[in-house]
Amino acid sequence: MPKKYDINIITNKPVIGEENLIEAEVLNHHYSPKVLKANLFAENFGVPIEAVIFSPKMWQREYFKTEKILLKGKIQFNGGKYQILHPKKINPTGDISPIYKTELQNRSVVALMKKYITKENLEKFQVPENIVENILSIHSPTLDSIRDKVEDFIFSEKQIHALKFLEIYRHIYLLKQKKVDYPASTTVDRDLRPFKENLEFTLTGDQEKAINDIREDMTKPVQARRVIVGDVGCGKTTVIMATAFVAGEKKSILMAPTSVLANQLFEEARKMLPNLKKTLVTAKTKISDEELNEADFIVGTHALLYRDLPSCAVLMVDEQHRFGTNQRNLLAKLTSNEKGSPHYFQFSATPIPRTLGMITSSIVGVSLIKQMPFKKDIDTKVIRQNDFPPLIEHIKEEIGKTNQVLIIYPLVEESENFNYQSLEEGRGFWEKNFEKVYLTHGKDKDKEDVLDQFAKNGNILLSTTVVEVGISLPKLTTIVIVGAERLGLATLHQLRGRVSRTGLKGYCYFYTKKEESERLEELTKTINGFDVAELDLKYRKSGDLLSGIFQSGESFKWFDMVLDEDILKEVKGLIGS
């Protein structure tokens, strides 16, 4: 975009403090080695004006040897008269030249813009006429279109709308170019009624919709690629099991990020899929190739990547963001055959903003599970040092009810640059004052065993954010997060989601040394993950979506992921999903 405009149009009114173009009659001039002054009459303004050039060059002395001159310079009103400072002599052009801030010469950029930003080129991509007109008015402006501003000009609302529209339009267009359809290794169409009749509960409407989306995908000869997104506790596991049921004897494979989670999913499969042959593959299990080939449903960790896997109808990845792209691609390759690739479904417990869901749906199918099987009852509170005594009393009360407590520390070991206790520094207090205290962290080789032992026997678990995703702790009712302001809202919400998994009353405490934290206070007001995603987007912005990485930082210069959902809908309506 232009950073300013070089305006070579004669106007009839001087703008003080800005560059003006004057058509002047030279009355007289005189100069010394230090200053050149000329008395002029600005015919376009109808007023006398003094031109002043300090330390004039030889060629500048030639300016005023003609009767008429066209000058451009900054005008000021000083000592009761107009002055034009260090004017430049220009040739009459009668145009407005955009000035771009790039490494290229400006004339080269202007030439490129004239060549490519044209009505014909924009209309080739079916950009609406009003958007085309406003984009062209930016690169080939009139005085009105830049509001008579030379420096730090202001785009009009229509121009800003056009910039936002074209930016997200281009983004969606490029995403759609990345979408390539591959043949499916097989198609599947199976009645789900026996699966539903075996359930001990009724599916929510969103679960039904997600399952139907998946079932419809699997009937097509093109490989399905769908992301199923839902909050912690929304019932994604049931959707996973329904997907495995539909695949049936044509086989399905599920990869989970940890052996604890893989074991939990395998146990659910044993209950919900009694008629399918199932097997579990982790680093600790010894499963033969023959057992793998006989299984209808294979549940495993990344250990699956080192096995000779059978081709399958369906491939599923749970908590997909915990795996690298290369790992996911390798798994897909291992399970493909000469006919094509398995239908591919990814599950995520990190809710996404509506705008991101709409953008993502341009390249893969998206199913959002927003309804919860039961209402979570979690009280969330921001606490500080003076709240510590009542917190200890609360923890004692919960342990007395045989409930469990989780305390999250930001660091494992002491750091000079950190004003919170580390895990190692804090453990002494808890181990001295409470029984059955367990401790683990990301580098702990035995963390999964520790989590398993705590789930069965513990009162208090001290940990880092290693427990953010996956582990099910039915008796966990309280979580305390130390230095909460240092974590993203999505991570805080994921941690909070560890409590109240079975309908028990839950409590979440954000411990901070900051006197005020608007971000944390806002998070205490909602436990809906999709609302949290909108808040997170508000504070962090969108990240680089086009490269597939959702992280902190700006992705768009003009389009706002929080405020411009209507523009996105307009674009999606034109381009289509």
Tell me the pLDDT tens digit for each residue of 298-326: 999 989 988 888 999 999 998 766 666 77
pLDDT at 332: 73
Mean of pLDDT over the chain? 86
β-pair partners for 22:
71
Average pLDDT over residues 243-249: 96
CB 565 within 8 A of CB 376: no
pLDDT at 343: 94
Tokens representing 375 are 């209402």
pLDDT at 144: 63
β-pair partners for 511:
383, 482
Confidence band, pLDDT 50/70/90 cuts, at residue 292: very high
Fold (CATH) for 378-526: Rossmann fold (3.40.50)
Confidence band, pLDDT 50/70/90 cuts, at residue 124: confident
Does 541 score more than 90 pLDDT?
A: no
In the chain, % of residues over pLDDT 70:
92
Confidence band, pLDDT 50/70/90 cuts, at residue 552: very low
CB 251 within 8 A of CB 314: yes
Tens-digit pLDDT profile for residues 220-231? 999 999 999 988
Decide yes or no: CATH 3.40.50.300 for domain 193-369.
yes
Other Cβ atoms closer than 10 A to 38: 22
Residue type, 525: K
Who's near 412: CB < 8 A, 6+ residues apart?
422, 423, 424, 441, 442, 443, 464
Q: Name the superfamily (CATH) of residues 2-89.
A: DNA polymerase B, N domain, beta-barrel (2.40.50.590)
pLDDT at 163: 93
Confidence band, pLDDT 50/70/90 cuts, at residue 204: very high
Does 378 score more than 80 pLDDT?
A: yes
240 vs 143 pLDDT, higher one? 240
Does 563 score more than 90 pLDDT?
A: no
Average pLDDT over residues 361-389: 89
pLDDT at 542: 52
Confidence band, pLDDT 50/70/90 cuts, at residue 379: very high
Distances (CA, A) of 567 to 128, 168, 338, 573: 13, 8, 43, 10
Does 148 score more than 80 pLDDT?
A: no
Residue 558 CA to residue 556 CA, distance in Å, equals 6
Confidence band, pLDDT 50/70/90 cuts, at residue 532: confident
Q: Do 193-369 and 378-526 show the same overall fold? A: yes
pLDDT at 455: 87
Confidence band, pLDDT 50/70/90 cuts, at residue 478: very high
Average pLDDT over residues 383-409: 94
Confidence band, pLDDT 50/70/90 cuts, at residue 554: very low
Looking up tokens 């002494």 gives 428
In this predicted structure, which of 9-18, 99-108, 327-336 has the lowest mean pLDDT? 327-336
Residue 308 CA to residue 334 CA, distance in Å, equals 7
Does 433 score more than 60 pLDDT?
A: yes
pLDDT at 273: 95
Does 191 score more than 60 pLDDT?
A: yes
Who's near 281: CB < 8 A, 6+ residues apart?
262, 287, 292, 298, 299, 300, 301, 303, 304, 307
Average pLDDT over residues 108-130: 89
The enclosing H or E element of 172 equals helix 157-178
pLDDT at 416: 65
Average pLDDT over residues 26-53: 90
Residue 225 CA to residue 342 CA, distance in Å, equals 9
Domain ranges of the chain: 2-89, 193-369, 378-526
Residue 77 CA to residue 80 CA, distance in Å, equals 7
Report strand pairing: 68-78 vs 297-300: unpaired
Question: 463 — phi, psi (to 5°)?
Answer: -155, 170
Does 417 score more than 70 pLDDT?
A: no
Report strand pairing: 95-100 vs 2-8: antiparallel
Confidence band, pLDDT 50/70/90 cuts, at residue 464: confident
